[in-house]
């Protein structure tokens, strides 16, 4: 894009000098033109003949408007006439406008009459930009017109946007079909619109002082698009610079924190029930093999480990210090941690920003910055890293190893993670409390988990993103390799209000979060349970090799519910090839339903399940399999569970590994069957139809955005 930078600089400098918070209309149009955004042609006429000439050059119809520094409300002054159709009319209108303006305000200086090309027809759209406290500059696109305004049908992207992203935005509004031309209207020039979107993204990225852009309306015809009105708001107060170490620095510190060779426990206590005692016990009983240094002002030893009055008294290097002391003492001890060059501090104590003690928190952060210490928390339960048997927390220990890492901003959600994991024997690689996020936040964690081979899936509970832009950047990279699930709390306006009172954080507009998270390839969970189920399921399911999903069911009713769920989750029920249909028919009763779902009917013996499951696993046109098991006496739940796990084992041994999920309906025995399946790494859910499909749908959403299918 060729930008007329000197014009832009002049316009913005002039506005800054004049103390403006918005560009004047003419300047806004000039700025648009400088970025290659077409605006209606115009010219200033100072007499009737000139008006006729300019209008003739622009082409009729034109709009004519009084130009006077003394007349603000031009319409009230009779100073605006639209639909001027001829040279003759232009002359008449010139005289009429000047006379009206003079009558309206005899004192007004009249500079002439603006003659502007009258644009209309085509499709009405809106392109704009906003500055979000978390995400920074965002470009917006929406369909114009009153109905869509009512329906707030707008989509956002981080600025700047690529040409592909700009084109993608055109399809990301509900009524996007209108751009293709409907009801006899010609299609809109999509490339012209994409260029305008890109230009706006470039404009706000080049010039941070442009805080808001509103091109509304833009008329998009079959050949080009014109921005009729441009409003450009300015904010010359620079945003405070965000603290952001380099990715290498983040990674170096996070590695030592998450996989430490040695841990100091500040405030280690011999007294049962104290946090400093629980942390010691969890470290020791959890089986952590690195050095553990209890720090206690007087004790010789704590829980059998030699104690030190200060970290400065420790001989060897220390990777992380876990704080279990009252909040007011934190800054002073943090100084010692800094002197000892410990790269990470886990601040368990509460009593900081969340209780109004912002100054104390700021003080701790300042000390940390000075010494290059990364802070986790404060106001957290600590963290777990199972692959090192590390329970750096006062909560109950947890050691079931797996490949999903979870984090939570809230301690309550953290406890739900631990409880759900334990009861479902869900393997995890890490569970991390982020609390007030005075320093370490989700993008630091993502940077670590990205390269952590023990972690294949990340699931995060988020109330606010302090730096949404960094998160989006890191997430966009990570999600190409590993699924990232986010439960964004404070979604709704009421919820957002609660988020403010809880963390003092300004919760973002949910539509912005939604669009940016999707743009970053993040899978959004809609409930706490969904986040937990996605965390459990995504690490178990292999990546599908294609879109073809088959439902195989013993209960026609389950087939219907599972089909509904497929549609809700954007899954494609494969069209059944004739030969495959015939192959299934070999095994099922003549009245079983052919096509997809394959309904083997309810009275069938285990062999029918086995044969059809084997067929579905071995036919490589089927990419994923959804099973709808129905409890019968002929094929009891455990018989089904065992044959299914055998068949999957058999297929895996032949190198076939496709996603399989199962809905189990029946009496209570289906619970044991589901547990059997889960213990064999097969997702089976009792009394549920929609949940297994939702988990499969999440895997597909991830695989698609990662470009794997």
Residue 507: CB minimum distance to a copy of itself, A = 9
**C-alpha R_g of the chain:** 32
C-beta of 242 vs 526, nearer to a copy of itself: 526
The DSSP call for residue 313 is G
Closer Cβ to a copy of itself, 206 or 672, answer by number:
672
**Cross-strand bridge partners of residue 294:** 265
Residue whose CB is less far from a copy of itself, 9 or 174: 174
**308 versus 700: smaller Cβ distance to a copy of itself:** 700
Report the distance separating Cα 464 and Cα 133, nearest Å: 11
Measured from the Cβ of residue 190, the count of other Cβ atoms closer than 10 Å reads 16
74 in Cβ contact with 118 (< 8 Å): no
- Residue 343 or 692: which CB sits closer to a copy of itself? 692
Q: How far is the CB of 74 from a copy of itself (least distance, A)?
A: 17
Nearer to a copy of itself, 328 or 412 (CB): 412
Find the shortest distance in angstroms from Cβ 645 to a copy of itself. 21
Nearest distance from C-beta of residue 394 to a copy of itself, angstroms? 9
Strand bridging mode 262-266 / 291-295: parallel
DSSP 40-82: --EEEESSHHHHHHHHHHH-SSEEEEEE-TT-S-TTTTT-EEE
Q: How far is the CB of 693 from a copy of itself (least distance, A)?
A: 10
Nearer to a copy of itself, 338 or 592 (CB): 592
Nearer to a copy of itself, 344 or 666 (CB): 666
**DSSP-derived secondary structure for 143-208:** E-SHHHHHHT-EEEEESS--HHHHHHHHTSSTTGGGGG--TTPPPP-HHHHHHHHHHHHHHHHH-T
d(CA 578, CA 481): 36
User: In which order are the strands placed within the sheet that holds 382-385?
Assistant: 390-393, 382-385, 428-433, 401-408, 457-462, 484-488, 523-525
Alpha-carbon distance of 548 to 624, in angstroms, equals 6
For residues 337 and 331, what is the distance between their CA atoms, to the nearest angstrom?
10
Report the half-sphere exposure of 628 (CA within 13 A, side-chain side): 26
Smallest gap from Cβ 348 to a copy of itself, in A, equals 12
What is the distance between the terminal CA atoms of the chain, rounded to a whole angstrom? 33
CB of 406 to a copy of itself, least distance (A): 13
293 phi, psi to nearest 5 deg: -115, 100
User: Nearest approach, Cβ of 30 to a copy of itself (angstroms)?
Assistant: 28
Least separation in angstroms between CB 162 and a copy of itself: 27
Q: Which is nearer to a copy of itself, 72 or 633 (CB)?
A: 633
The residue among 498 and 583 lying less far from a copy of itself, judged by its C-beta, is 498
Closest CA to 228 of 241, 237, 219: 219
Smallest separation (angstroms) from a copy of itself to the CB of 628: 7
3-class DSSP state of 387: helix
CB of 438 or CB of 561, closer to a copy of itself: 561
Output 202 or 409, the one with its CB closest to a copy of itself.
409
Helices (H), ranges, 228-380:
247-258, 275-286, 330-339, 358-371
From 14, 13, 9, 7, select the one nearest 30 (Cα to Cα). Answer: 7
Tokens 């965000």 — which residue?
242
Rounded to a whole number of angstroms, the minimum distance from the CB of residue 204 to a copy of itself is: 27
> CB 241 → a copy of itself: shortest distance, Å?
29
Q: How far is Cα 500 from Cα 507, in angstroms, rounded to an integer?
A: 7
């Amino acid at each position: 894009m060729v930008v007329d930078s000197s014009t832009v600089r002049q316009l913005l400098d002039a506005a800054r000098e004049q103390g403006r918070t918005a560009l004047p209309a003419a300047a806004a149009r000039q700025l648009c033109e400088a970025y290659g955004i077409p605006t209606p042609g115009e010219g200033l006429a100072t007499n009737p003949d000139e008006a006729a000439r300019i209008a003739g050059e622009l082409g009729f119809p034109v709009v004519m408007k009084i130009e006077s520094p003394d007349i603000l409300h031009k319409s009230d002054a009779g100073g605006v006439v639209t639909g001027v159709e001829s040279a003759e009319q232009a002359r008449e209108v010139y005289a009429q406008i000047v006379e009206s303006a003079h009558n309206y305000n005899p004192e007004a200086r009249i500079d002439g009459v603006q003659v502007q090309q009258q644009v209309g027809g085509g499709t009405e759209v809106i392109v704009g930009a906003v500055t979000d406290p978390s995400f920074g500059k965002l470009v917006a696109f929406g369909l114009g017109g009153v109905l869509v305004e009512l329906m707030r049908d707008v989509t956002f992207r981080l600025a700047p946007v690529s040409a592909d992203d700009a084109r993608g935005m055109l399809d990301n509004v509900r009524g996007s079909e209108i751009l293709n031309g409907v009801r006899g209207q010609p299609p809109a020039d999509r490339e012209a619109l994409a260029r305008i979107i890109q230009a706006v993204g470039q404009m706000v990225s080049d010039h941070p002082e442009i805080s808001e852009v509103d091109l509304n309306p833009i008329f998009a015809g079959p050949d080009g698009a014109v921005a009729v009105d441009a409003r450009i708001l300015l904010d010359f107060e620079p945003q405070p610079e965000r603290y952001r170490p380099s990715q290498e620095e983040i990674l170096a510190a996070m590695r030592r924190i998450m996989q430490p060779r040695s841990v100091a426990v500040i405030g280690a206590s011999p007294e049962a029930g104290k946090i400093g005692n629980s942390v010691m016990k969890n470290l020791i009983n959890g089986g952590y093999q690195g050095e553990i240094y209890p720090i206690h002002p007087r004790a010789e030893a704590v829980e059998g480990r030699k104690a030190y009055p200060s970290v400065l008294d420790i001989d060897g290097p220390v990777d992380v210090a876990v704080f279990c002391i009252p909040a007011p003492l934190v800054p002073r001890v943090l100084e010692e941690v800094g002197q000892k060059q410990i790269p990470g501090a886990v601040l368990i104590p509460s009593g900081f920003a969340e209780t109004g003690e912002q100054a104390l928190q700021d003080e701790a952060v300042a000390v940390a910055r000075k010494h290059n210490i990364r802070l986790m928390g404060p106001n957290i339960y600590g963290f777990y890293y199972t692959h090192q048997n590390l329970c750096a927390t006062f909560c109950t220990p947890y050691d079931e190893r797996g490949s999903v890492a979870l984090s939570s901003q809230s301690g309550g959600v953290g406890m739900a993670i631990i409880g759900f994991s334990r009861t479902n024997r869900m393997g995890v690689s890490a569970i991390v409390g982020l609390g007030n996020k005075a320093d370490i936040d989700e993008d630091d964690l993502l940077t670590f988990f990205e390269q952590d081979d023990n972690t294949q899936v990340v699931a995060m509970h988020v109330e606010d993103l302090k730096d949404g832009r960094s998160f989006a950047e890191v997430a966009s990279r990570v999600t190409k390799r590993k699924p990232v699930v986010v439960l964004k709390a404070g979604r709704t306006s009421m919820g957002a209000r609660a988020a403010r009172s809880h963390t003092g954080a300004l919760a973002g507009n949910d539509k912005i979060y939604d669009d940016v998270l999707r743009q970053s390839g993040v899978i959004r969970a809609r409930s706490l349970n969904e986040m937990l189920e996605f965390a459990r399921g995504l690490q178990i399911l292999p990546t599908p090799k294609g879109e073809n999903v088959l439902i195989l069911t013993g209960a026609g009713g389950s087939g219907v519910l599972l089909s509904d769920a497929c549609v809700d989750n954007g899954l494609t029920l494969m069209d059944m090839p004739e030969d495959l249909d015939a192959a299934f028919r070999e095994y099922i009763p003549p009245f079983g339903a052919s096509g997809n779902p394959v309904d083997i009917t309810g009275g069938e013996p285990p062999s029918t399940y086995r044969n059809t499951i084997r067929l579905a696993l071995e036919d490589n046109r089927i990419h994923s399999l959804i099973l709808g098991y129905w409890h019968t006496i002929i094929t009891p739940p455990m018989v089904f569970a065992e044959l299914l796990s055998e068949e999957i084992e058999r297929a895996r041994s032949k190198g076939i590994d496709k996603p399989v999920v199962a809905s189990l309906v029946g009496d209570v025995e289906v619970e044991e069957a589901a547990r059997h399946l889960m213990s064999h790494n097969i997702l089976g859910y009792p009394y549920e139809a929609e949940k297994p499909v939702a988990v499969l749908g999440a895997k597909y959403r991830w695989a698609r955005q990662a470009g794997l299918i």
